[in-house]
Structure 1
């Protein structure tokens, strides 16, 4: 069809119609467009907008009024009800979810050894068929490597110790227990040799923990100490009168040098030596661990000489200690006179300091809190001191109980006929905790059970002297068991290495592994025994380990690992046996026939 153009009031409107497209299929023309809306003259569009705004404002106002009515009349109860509904829903949703994601206790984090013991007791009691012989416990032998020949002691003396003590006097104060004091004494001799000073017999500092007023001469033979070191380091019992008078007979007036821990040789030669030359006498307090392990060979020799030859217990201690050793041998007739010595650290203060939890419940917690407050005041209540008993146990930092020691030894193959010497202070609640150990090892002895009350009376109240008795009995045992670490077992292991061909003959249990096994209520006795036998074998292997020492670069303790530096002194003692040295009776024959 043709396009039509229409004109209305001067406006042109075009309509194009195509066949077949339109309203329906009709071919009739489309209706004309609607006329444009009429405008009222003189009336502007903007005058209508205020009416619309007024209408919208009215609607909003009505809505707010309605909402206020709802809140005012009914909303108060909903206002309190909605939070309750929200919290209830949260608990319903989160509670089961938290139960699903909550981590179970770490293996070994709980003390359940007593439950495992009750479960396994029948198997433990009946298992004596595979008992291990004490004489065949240690299978590893140290392979002797080719070593440089040892220098003649006379030549060593002439080269390094021609005129000892020319530079003045050295005074030290040793603190701590028996073996921390022993470490300080050995280091003091080494420093005196390094500075070419005269050493005054070390003074022992009184400590509130040990509460032992013993002095050097109460524990060690002073005359033997002085004579053994003569020619290497000059030792005197006290300062000359002239020096005491110069300082108004007051030791605190003498120049005191505070030395950093593990100070190297260079520090002593650069900072301490000039003061000694100027003053003629110096004090170094405190003196625990104030000398590095890496020192020149001739100074290291002084440590060996002091520890293994010069330090000899007094005759009163040595006499009773020898009696205790002989009585242990007599009571070990079923095992050819051989016995096990266990250093058990389960005293009240040790348990409290460890912050570990055992099976005493709330009463134990209250008791330990009181002990910690009394002994260490507010140390354990500080915000920066976080107590995590479960992590301490998993990390192997909790003291082993007598029960745990007994189960471990029975698992390793030691039967009920084995004699055990228990080196310890007063056991925490011993009337309860010692029962299972005695049940497993009836032949259990202590210094209190071996000695008469009259024999032990002079040593009561002197913890270091009592520790010296334990030290000697443990030194002579066929097997030594350490349970908690510290200076006592470290020195003892080193001393045993020095005496027994480089083998510590010490069971040092893997406590991280042990606590996991003793937390498993489903473990069988056979499985536990296999694990303990592996642990014994590992202690045997590590007992002969010798640290790699290059020149004077030593990082490990020479008191725990005395070889190779103390080897020459060891050979010297084999060739010239000194019967004043605290060694087993068969020391000479064992070494001469190797």
Structure 2
């Protein structure tokens, strides 16, 4: 009887387990059916972002001399104020104009920004209405979201039109008749070179504009108007400033994400510095810096340099001495070198460093030394979630986004028909052909280097990534402008023109000239580093003082060098003196020595125009309450960094000597 009862209980237990298993399976299938597609979206919400700051101290003293040396504003530039408003007789655009200017712009972020400011000035010069420029990298054919036309993928279109209402008539599209003429290719097209003179537009473009009522201008290389204009065109320079610094506002979603990143960086209550490496393949190939890598990236750069030589972009030899070019300041400063310089200047290990343009050519391995010197090295990916980044792209169609085309599909009937038409077979039969070998997988992803002088055509995914990079650069641009300090690794692009970092430095100079913006001379830094190359992390106090003096001097002297080297190629990289004025404050008038220094530095930059009365505030600088820190005086941060390196090297050397002595004793004992 007991056995029957036990078996009955076992059956009920087994039945209950089976029912629970079925219920669990049905529940999992239901969840997978209705919630599986949302798992990827909600997963990043578990953590806000991946950065977890590491700080040695809980608070920072914002009032001592050392803090002011590292983060404080430049006193001699404190009286400079932004002023891009017209200063003379300036007429607003009328309803009567000579025609419409339709523009197509190619290139990256800094080239687009330069070109837009130039084309607005050109439109006013021609008394023409400007059609919203078309950015070739953001058209629907490049795989971007169809919700954006082109210009509004990156910038706020409505704000652009409204901000320039008193300068140029801006329309969103051509009139119907001119649209038909453009569609039938009855519109004159001008492909303009970099830094074209105003005379070309007045003598060549203007007559065609008056005749056809519309002209199309193609801008392939960025700036389409020469940077330095005669004094009679000075108002056009200020128009460039109004376009770049006021009218070009990023799309709302992009602006909000950039502002959110800035707030997250500032949430710790500590200042942060932005570092822009400037390591792009085109720039490294153009300037002959291939031997700095010694891997497959060198081969890719040499291939690009060969193409540049063949097409006349550069004149020179394919193989150059990259080491010598680095010593001459032609090549960029590597992240490791920037890290050593910043530690020598006195920035502590827990300094927050935001890396702009984080897609380095050469890979993230180049950032390893910088990460070892600073604990809080971040970029936009570590301060945002995947959902936040993908939200700014809009809805994108992935149906045609295969990275490479698939081989054609051959049916069995087609195979049989081809077999019957092929004629008699040789005997014996040849071995079967190997599997189809496509160009993109022949030697890895760089296999095309050995097969063709041309790079393979970009796929839809690669074109889409190029469009995304414009948004990434826009985010980095917002963060760079708001940073407490900025330092570039390189300031030239793949055409020898000022790059992203140059635009950032020009914008920071315009908005607040006194902010900490370093302009390191690459040649001087390279020679300083070469002096201690054999003991790079064991520098003495004299060397540290030399680095500090150079970086401190670069805050002022770098502006003079930018006026001589960058401004002739890009006005926005140094909008001085046209777009700045001198503010006379009561504080400066009381301190004669400080006032004399300020006037001397400002006049050296060419700024002599006095700000209007409304801008002459009585803001007292809080820097005068503190004494200047002696650059030659050792501080705990840099001394500790280099002292630890010397102690480590000394310990290794001592251990080596001990090992040699032990080996010598063993040998002597063996001889005995």
User: Does the 8 Å CA contact 1:497/1:503 hold for their aligned counterparts?
Assistant: yes
Query: Which residue is equivalent to 1:301?
Result: 238
Residues 1:218 and 2:123 are matched in the alignment: no
Q: CA deviation at 1:453?
A: 1.2
Alignment of 1:90-101 (within 5 A): none
User: Does the 8 Å CA contact 1:547/1:556 hold for their aligned counterparts?
Assistant: no
Query: Which residue is equivalent to 1:27?
Result: none
Residues 1:404 and 2:337 are matched in the alignment: yes
Q: Secondary structure at the match of 1:321?
A: helix
For residues 411-458 of structure 1, what are the alpha-carbon distances to aligned partners after superposition, in whole Å with 9 as ceiling and x for unaligned?
111111211111123234545322221121101111000001111124
For residues 191-236 of structure 1, what are the alpha-carbon distances to aligned partners after superposition, in whole Å with 9 as ceiling and x for unaligned?
111111000111112499xx89682110000000001111321111
Distance in 1 separating the partners of 2:362 and 2:176: 52
Q: Secondary structure at the match of 2:491?
A: coil
Distance in 2 separating the partners of 1:144 and 1:503: 8
Q: 1:386 aligns with which of 318, 329, 336?
A: 318
User: Does the 8 Å CA contact 1:130/1:413 hold for their aligned counterparts?
Assistant: no
Distance in 2 separating the partners of 1:280 and 1:452: 49
User: Does the 8 Å CA contact 1:379/1:385 hold for their aligned counterparts?
Assistant: no
Q: 1:230 aligns with which of 165, 178, 184?
A: 165
Q: Secondary structure at the match of 2:219?
A: coil
User: Does the 8 Å CA contact 1:503/1:543 hold for their aligned counterparts?
Assistant: no
Structure 2 stretches lacking a partner, 5+ long: 1-63, 394-464, 493-498, 585-613, 621-672
User: Does the 8 Å CA contact 2:74/2:514 hold for their aligned counterparts?
Assistant: no
For residues 369-401 of structure 1, what are the alpha-carbon distances to aligned partners after superposition, in whole Å with 9 as ceiling and x for unaligned?
14543x566446899533212332122122222
For residues 256-303 of structure 1, what are the alpha-carbon distances to aligned partners after superposition, in whole Å with 9 as ceiling and x for unaligned?
124454333333222221111111101121263221231513322321
Q: 2:359 aligns with which of 421, 426, 450?
A: 426
Query: Which residue is equivalent to 1:240?
Result: 175
Distance in 2 separating the partners of 1:151 and 1:531: 41
Query: Which residue is equivalent to 2:470?
Result: 464
Alignment of 1:285-324 (within 5 A): 285-286=218-219, 288-292=222-226, 293-294=228-229, 296-324=233-261
Distance in 1 separating the partners of 2:284 and 2:479: 24
TM-score, structure 2 as length reference: 0.57
Aligned CA distance change for structure 1 residues 324 and 179 (closer, same or farther; 3 Å): same
Query: Which residue is equivalent to 1:160?
Result: 91
Structure 1 stretches lacking a partner, 5+ long: 1-128, 572-587
Q: CA deviation at 1:525?
A: 3.1
Q: 2:382 aligns with which of 449, 457, 482?
A: 449
Residues 1:491 and 2:506 are matched in the alignment: no
User: Does the 8 Å CA contact 1:344/1:423 hold for their aligned counterparts?
Assistant: yes
Q: CA deviation at 1:163?
A: 1.1
Alignment of 1:441-590 (within 5 A): 441-458=374-391, 461=465, 462-486=468-492, 487-500=499-512, 502-503=513-514, 505-519=516-530, 520-521=533-534, 524-542=539-557, 545=560, 555=568, 557-567=570-580
Query: Which residue is equivalent to 2:637?
Result: none
User: Does the 8 Å CA contact 2:238/2:579 hold for their aligned counterparts?
Assistant: yes
Q: Secondary structure at the match of 1:180?
A: helix
Q: CA deviation at 1:568?
A: 7.1
Aligned CA distance change for structure 1 residues 269 and 425 (closer, same or farther; 3 Å): same
Alignment of 1:91-130 (within 5 A): none
Aligned CA distance change for structure 1 residues 538 and 423 (closer, same or farther; 3 Å): same
Query: Which residue is equivalent to 1:6?
Result: none
For residues 33-57 of structure 1, what are the alpha-carbon distances to aligned partners after superposition, in whole Å with 9 as ceiling and x for unaligned?
xxxxxxxxxxxxxxxxxxxxxxxxx
Q: Secondary structure at the match of 1:521?
A: helix
User: Does the 8 Å CA contact 1:503/1:544 hold for their aligned counterparts?
Assistant: no
Query: Which residue is equivalent to 1:28?
Result: none
User: Does the 8 Å CA contact 1:346/1:428 hold for their aligned counterparts?
Assistant: yes
Q: Secondary structure at the match of 2:97?
A: coil
Distance in 2 separating the partners of 1:569 and 1:197: 34
Query: Which residue is equivalent to 2:373?
Result: 440
User: Does the 8 Å CA contact 1:165/1:234 hold for their aligned counterparts?
Assistant: no
Q: Secondary structure at the match of 1:481?
A: strand
Q: Secondary structure at the match of 1:160?
A: coil
Q: 2:298 aligns with which of 360, 364, 368?
A: 368
User: Does the 8 Å CA contact 2:297/2:362 hold for their aligned counterparts?
Assistant: no
User: Does the 8 Å CA contact 2:121/2:236 hold for their aligned counterparts?
Assistant: yes
Distance in 2 separating the partners of 1:283 and 1:527: 59
Which entry has the higher C-alpha Rg, 1 or 2?
1
Aligned CA distance change for structure 1 residues 546 and 212 (closer, same or farther; 3 Å): farther
Distance in 1 separating the partners of 2:188 and 2:251: 32
Q: CA deviation at 1:307?
A: 1.1
Q: 2:289 aligns with which of 313, 338, 356?
A: 356
User: Does the 8 Å CA contact 2:93/2:169 hold for their aligned counterparts?
Assistant: no
The alignment's C-alpha RMSD in Å is 3.8
Q: Secondary structure at the match of 2:572?
A: coil
Q: Secondary structure at the match of 1:559?
A: helix
Q: Secondary structure at the match of 1:301?
A: helix
User: Does the 8 Å CA contact 2:86/2:238 hold for their aligned counterparts?
Assistant: no
For residues 90-120 of structure 1, what are the alpha-carbon distances to aligned partners after superposition, in whole Å with 9 as ceiling and x for unaligned?
xxxxxxxxxxxxxxxxxxxxxxxxxxxxxxx
Aligned CA distance change for structure 1 residues 424 and 259 (closer, same or farther; 3 Å): closer
TM-score, structure 1 as length reference: 0.64
User: Does the 8 Å CA contact 2:223/2:570 hold for their aligned counterparts?
Assistant: no
User: Does the 8 Å CA contact 2:488/2:501 hold for their aligned counterparts?
Assistant: yes
For residues 66-100 of structure 1, what are the alpha-carbon distances to aligned partners after superposition, in whole Å with 9 as ceiling and x for unaligned?
xxxxxxxxxxxxxxxxxxxxxxxxxxxxxxxxxxx
Aligned CA distance change for structure 1 residues 568 and 312 (closer, same or farther; 3 Å): farther
Q: Give the total of aligned pairs.
A: 429
Alignment of 1:34-53 (within 5 A): none
For residues 468-493 of structure 1, what are the alpha-carbon distances to aligned partners after superposition, in whole Å with 9 as ceiling and x for unaligned?
00000010011111111032122111
Distance in 2 separating the partners of 1:253 and 1:444: 54
Distance in 1 separating the partners of 2:195 and 2:282: 28
Distance in 1 separating the partners of 2:93 and 2:258: 38
User: Does the 8 Å CA contact 1:220/1:311 hold for their aligned counterparts?
Assistant: yes
